[in-house]
């Protein structure tokens, strides 16, 4: 059996098996763990009472986080005319149309989010094999195909969590960094949970928010008291 590293021992000593934490307790524990060599993200996993095998129970969306994500987001926008100018005014990093599509086909992918005006989808649609596998394909369900490209740029720059329920019925989202205050984490998590409740499928029965887990990139997953968050 492999020996535990010094960091692993410190993590094991800091957590209590089977404990259910408040958000504040979990943030304090994760922030107090031995630091990694990079700034770690805080991630939340939410187990939902849905059956993702059924098309009408696939939960997907985007939440604008009030405290942001702590990361700089580079945004590319497919738009022309007034919409393109509005996107630039909101701070879009790259704005174009056919020229942007050509640049992407040449391998230039220096952005984190792609937003498209509806009339641009005839161009963007041809980039599915490039953008799709990277999770960058614009989609109206998460607000990245929209006539209001400027508003979408503003939201993306402010910090958004984008998510889609996985095969196990779990939503995964980055909601901050380990140096965030407990108050900032609470704002972000509660906003996410509120949006997930709005997205509850009509055919979902029983308990909807079943479990919430908070973790850092290199840290353990801590179970959060659902009632401490979602009430």
Tell which wins on pLDDT, 9 or 202.
202
- For the CA atoms of 165, 169, 171, 172, the dihedral, rounded to the nearest 10 degrees, stands at -110
DSSP state of 172: E
- CA pseudo-torsion sign 126, 161, 42, 181: positive
- pLDDT tier at 37 (50, 70, 90 boundaries)? confident
Q: Are residues 83 and 149 in the same domain?
A: yes
**Average pLDDT, integer, range 32-37:** 78
Which residues are 172's β-sheet partners?
45
pLDDT for residue 4 is more than 70: no
What does the alpha-carbon distance between residue 129 and residue 126 come to, in Å, rounded to a whole number? 8
Per residue in 216-228, pLDDT tens? 988 889 999 999 8
pTM: 0.82
Could you tell me the CATH number of the domain that includes residue 197? 3.30.190.20
Per residue in 63-98, pLDDT tens? 999 999 998 899 999 999 999 999 999 999 999 999
Domain that holds residue 125: 75-158
Q: Is residue 187 part of a domain?
A: yes
What does the alpha-carbon distance between residue 126 and residue 100 come to, in Å, rounded to a whole number? 12
What does the alpha-carbon distance between residue 168 and residue 197 come to, in Å, rounded to a whole number? 18
Q: Are residues 194 and 211 in the same domain?
A: yes
- CB–CB of 83/147 below 8 Å? yes
Per residue in 180-231, pLDDT tens? 999 999 999 999 999 999 999 999 999 999 999 999 988 889 999 999 886 5
Give the closest residue to 173 by CA, choosing from 133, 142, 132, 128. 142
Q: Are residues 179 and 148 in the same domain?
A: no
Which of 129, 158, 187 is the last residue in one of the domains? 158
Q: Is residue 171 part of a domain?
A: yes
Could you tell me the CATH number of the domain that includes residue 154? 3.40.50.790
Which of 137, 158, 179 is the last residue in one of the domains? 158
Tokens of 105: 């086909």
Tokens of 67: 């405290």
What Å distances lie between residue 207 and 2, 73, 211, 221, CA to CA?
A: 40, 35, 10, 21
Q: Which residue has the tokens 């984008």?
A: 162
């Amino acid at each position: 059996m492999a020996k535990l590293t010094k960091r692993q021992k410190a993590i094991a000593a800091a957590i209590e098996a089977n404990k259910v934490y408040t958000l504040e307790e979990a943030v304090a524990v994760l922030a107090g763990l031995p630091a990694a060599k990079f700034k770690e993200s805080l991630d939340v996993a939410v187990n939902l009472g849905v059956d993702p095998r059924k098309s009408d129970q696939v939960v997907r969306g985007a939440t604008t986080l009030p405290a942001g994500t702590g990361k700089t987001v580079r945004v590319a926008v497919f738009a022309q005319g007034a919409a393109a100018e509005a996107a630039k005014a909101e701070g879009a990093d790259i704005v174009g149309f056919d020229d942007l599509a050509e640049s992407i086909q040449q391998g230039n992918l220096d952005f984190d989010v792609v937003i498209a005006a509806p009339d641009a989808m005839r161009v963007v649609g041809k980039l599915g094999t490039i953008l799709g596998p990277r999770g960058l394909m614009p989609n109206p369900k998460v607000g990245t195909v929209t006539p209001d490209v400027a508003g979408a740029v503003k939201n993306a720059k402010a910090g958004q969590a984008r998510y889609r329920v996985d095969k196990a019925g779990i939503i995964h989202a980055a909601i901050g960094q380990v140096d965030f205050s407990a108050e900032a984490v609470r704002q972000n998590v509660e906003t996410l949970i509120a949006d997930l409740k709005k997205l509850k499928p009509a055919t979902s029965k029983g308990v909807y928010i079943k479990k919430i887990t908070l973790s850092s990139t290199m840290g353990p997953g801590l179970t959060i008291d659902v009632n401490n968050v979602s009430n």
